[in-house]
Structure 1
Amino acid sequence: MSLEAARAADVLTQLSGETRLLALAELVRCGKNGASLGELSYRLDLPLPKVGDACARLVALGVAIGSGNGFYRARLEGLREAAAAVERSQPIAGLLADYPQLRGNFSHGRLTSMPPTLSDRYEVLGELLSRFLALDGLYDEDEINKRLAEVTDDVAAVRRMLVDTGWLERDRAGTTYGPGRSRL
């Protein structure tokens, strides 16, 4: 895991703390004016030291800004940065940059929808996934499934699509797969 991805994971893990998440949500509700620790403590019905600790952690995570005099504001760019770091750490992210027409079919490095079969994107998706698999020989179905599971939940449908579009060849028994047509 890259340092950037580890940092993003830490941000998301730290936000799983109930008080931190409640404090951030309240700061978001307060908008650009933010709120003082006293106001947050009152609104959240939590002790001041607990709210102060939560806000200090939010600042350290980069999702809040403290003014130094007890006023805090949400900094949602920190969350966007963490989400972008997670997305960049996904195994298909580098290849997906070459296929901007497929961005709508992916979310955070995962295939979330298949293009319609008559769409040009259906064929292009096959090429992208073929490049991702980077097959250089014959593989059993379990290995193909394992590799595809890194980018999709519906492994069977994607594997079938790759065979249908010719990017993946299957033996007659349906147990061994190899590279299909070559990419230009």
Structure 2
Amino acid sequence: MEAGTIVGLLADPARLRVVAALALGAGTIEEVAEASGLSLKDVALAARRLARAGLVHRDGHTLALHTERFAEAARTAAAQAPPPPRMSADPAEDAVLQTFVRDGRLVSIPAQHSKRLVVLAHLVHVFEPGVRYPEREVNALLAAWHPDVAALRRYLVDEGFLTRQAGVYWRSGGYVEV
């Protein structure tokens, strides 16, 4: 069964409640109705649809969730997913960036200095060389990456990626394409 099919089945609130009740230990139509707050008729209809799709085993009033189908679908979907785009040509740097950057956001600031340098070198590219930025604009650009803009700003200055003078910042480090 495909992950998309499972998601489609669970998009229905009644079927989702039935699956949740079964996952939490309900084993009969009556127990599912009690746990889910649904009527016996609604549970029976949802259970019939889930059984036809192979997610639920139904034997009279007894129901059992085929939890292994969820794991199988997840493994299949993961195997079919395209690899994430590379963020660096260097495999070691790319591994660090894949760990700390998700969907264009920094999930956490690396504690290890060498990893933090890789992330900062990637992050500094939001600043154009030769452009001067007031602190408010630096904060806005960094907030798109991570909520702790003060820490990022401090690290970028301390590591020489940005220079600060009189509340104005400019890019002073990092690789620049020419």
TM-score range with shorter-chain normalisation? 0.5 to 0.7
Aligned with residue 111 of structure 2, among 116, 120, 126: 116
For residues 116 and 56 of structure 1, what CA distance do their matches in structure 2 show? 52
For residues 138 and 52 of structure 2, what CA distance do their matches in structure 1 show? 46
1:146 aligns with 2:140: yes
**Per the alignment, do residues 121 and 69 of structure 1 end up closer, same or farther by CA in structure 2, a change over 3 Å counting?**
closer
Per the alignment, in what secondary structure is the counterpart of residue 87 of structure 2? Answer: helix
- 1:126 maps to what in 2? 120
1:40 aligns with 2:35: no
Q: What is the identity, as a one-letter code, of the residue corresponding to 1:159?
A: R
Note the alpha carbon deviations across 1:82-137, whole angstroms, 9 max, x for none.
xxx9xx7xxxx8637953124444566543433336x2112112112113x14242
- Aligned pair count reads 151
Aligned with residue 26 of structure 1, among 18, 21, 32: 21
Q: What is the identity, as a one-letter code, of the residue corresponding to 2:94?
A: Y
Q: Structure 2 regions of 5+ residues with no counterpart?
A: 59-64
Please tell me whether the aligned partners of residues 106 and 112 of structure 1 are also in contact (alpha carbons under 8 angstroms).
Answer: yes
For residues 37 and 123 of structure 1, what CA distance do their matches in structure 2 show? 57
Aligned with residue 101 of structure 1, among 91, 96, 99: 96
Aligned with residue 135 of structure 1, among 128, 131, 135: 128
For residues 56 and 144 of structure 2, what CA distance do their matches in structure 1 show? 47
Per the alignment, in what secondary structure is the counterpart of residue 95 of structure 1? Answer: coil
Rg: which structure is higher?
A: 2
Aligned with residue 66 of structure 1, among 50, 53, 61: 53
Q: CA deviation at 1:150?
A: 1.9
Per the alignment, in what secondary structure is the counterpart of residue 163 of structure 2? Answer: strand
For residues 52 and 122 of structure 1, what CA distance do their matches in structure 2 show? 55
For residues 169 and 52 of structure 2, what CA distance do their matches in structure 1 show? 53
Q: Structure 1 regions of 5+ residues with no counterpart?
A: 1-6
Root mean square deviation of aligned Cα: 4.6
Q: TM-score, normalised by structure 2?
A: 0.56
Q: What is the identity, as a one-letter code, of the residue corresponding to 1:101?
A: V
**Per the alignment, do residues 124 and 36 of structure 1 end up closer, same or farther by CA in structure 2, a change over 3 Å counting?**
same
For residues 143 and 94 of structure 1, what CA distance do their matches in structure 2 show? 28
Per the alignment, in what secondary structure is the counterpart of residue 177 of structure 1? Answer: strand
For residues 166 and 112 of structure 1, what CA distance do their matches in structure 2 show? 23
**Per the alignment, do residues 67 and 127 of structure 1 end up closer, same or farther by CA in structure 2, a change over 3 Å counting?**
same
Please tell me whether the aligned partners of residues 124 and 161 of structure 2 are also in contact (alpha carbons under 8 angstroms).
Answer: yes
Q: TM-score, normalised by structure 1?
A: 0.54
